[in-house]
A and B are shown apart, each in its own frame.
Chain A
Amino acid sequence: MQVQVVENILKLNDELAGMNRQALRKSGVFTIDLLGGPGCGKTTLVERTVEMLSSEMKIAVIVGDLTTARDAERIAKFCPQTVQVNTGKGCHLEAHHVRQAMGKIDFSGVDLLIVENVGNLVCPVGFDLGQDVKVTMFCTTEGVDKPAKYPYAVDAADVVLLNKMDLLQYVQFEIEQFRSDVKRLKPAVEIIECSALKGDAGMKRWTGWIKERMAARK
């Protein structure tokens, strides 16, 4: 006997993510889900972002890794409300991880929550966490084909970051190819080229983008 279902497999995750979103919005928190491959500079981006914005707003950070608290230790130097989530064998964060981590954060007065996902361009993309925006980060040292090879990560992104622009001159990276592949997958998406390490003009554009999005939601 056949039983017709036709239902999203990740329905429970999506429902939990919806609850996270509702709770965060009620507290007036704007939430970013940051995706990118291992080593593309996500933690450095979070450090610099917190450093650049902390005089203007109160920020909390949730950081996901398979193991170790090293990223949280790094970020905590800039942001006292940093919670590390260890996923064990899990290659991405799910809504329940964020839900648990949210319980460890005092959201009174918090304006911005940055969730640094596990380094991975495949698995995290389909799992809604309750974020307002998804940010996908690439870098000039990992090869120009990443957007073409991981199209969902581009399709799901509200903005695409290209990090390590300070190293562009030392590596073979056809930046025009990168731009056209991203635009092909998602014509309207903005690409911000930056160096999180140097805190360059691109980083000002990035923090400006966050503020624009936060203002637009209010």
Chain B
Amino acid sequence: MHEVSIATALVEQVRRHIPAGRKLIGIKIEAGPFQSIDPEAMDMAWVSVIDATELEGAKLFLTTLPYQMTCPKCARKWESADAFEKCTCGSQEAVPSGSSELRLVSMEVEDEANVEAGRY
């Protein structure tokens, strides 16, 4: 459900950053696993909030980042999609971190500025 709030915030953010007169083709976002974003729900939320706006048709590309795991027993560090993954040393006490990122990384916009008379 928070996907709708995130999509709404994204629309405002894109409008702040988009070069004047350019049409948006797509956006890339990254989310840490703590954000619990469902990719399908995120896509649906994005499509619905840009419906009938100047952003309609723009694609959303979501990358879900892995947990950064640290084992307190052997100090090994690795990446995992599972916050409770065991360490190869057998320890079950690895601590997941660096997992709550939520950011707009980049936007793909049309090359030529839209110079259609009176549109902007």
Contact = CB atoms under 8 A, between A and B. Distances in A.
Given A9-B13, A148-B84, A123 B1 contact: yes
B66 interface: no
Given A5-B105, A94-B5, A126 B35 contact: yes
Q: Is the interface of B mostly helix, strand, loop or mixed?
A: mixed
Contact of A9 (B9, B83, B95): B9
A91 B2 contact: yes
B5 A127 contact: yes
A13 B105 CA distance: 18
B13 A7 contact: yes
Contacts of B96: 151, 185
Interface residues of B, number: 36
B35 A7 contact: no
Interface string A1-41: 11111111111110000000000000000000000000000
B5 A5 contact: no
A182 to B, nearest CB: 12
B95 A3 contact: no
Interface residues of A, number: 34
B82 to A, nearest CB: 10
A103 interface: no
A92 B99 CA distance: 20
Nearest to B25: A1
Interface in A85-130: 89-92, 94, 120, 122-123, 125-127
A155 interface: yes
A7 B107 CA distance: 12
A1 B103 contact: no
A92 B2 contact: yes
Contact of B36 (A10, A152, A185, A187): A152
A96 to B, nearest CB: 11
A122 B13 contact: no
A94 B4 CA distance: 13
A91 B108 CA distance: 31
A90 B13 CA distance: 20
A6 B103 contact: yes
Given A3-B107, A123-B1, A148-B84, A9 B29 contact: yes
A152 B2 contact: no
Interface string A148-166: 1011100110000000000
19 contacts: A1-B108, A2-B107, A2-B109, A3-B108, A3-B109, A5-B105, A7-B13, A8-B103, A9-B9, A10-B6, A11-B13, A122-B1, A123-B1, A126-B34, A151-B34, A152-B34, A152-B35, A184-B84, A185-B96
Closest 9 pairs between A and B when the two form their complex, measured CB to CB = A123-B2, A152-B34, A91-B1, A3-B107, A5-B104, A122-B36, A151-B83, A9-B102, A4-B106
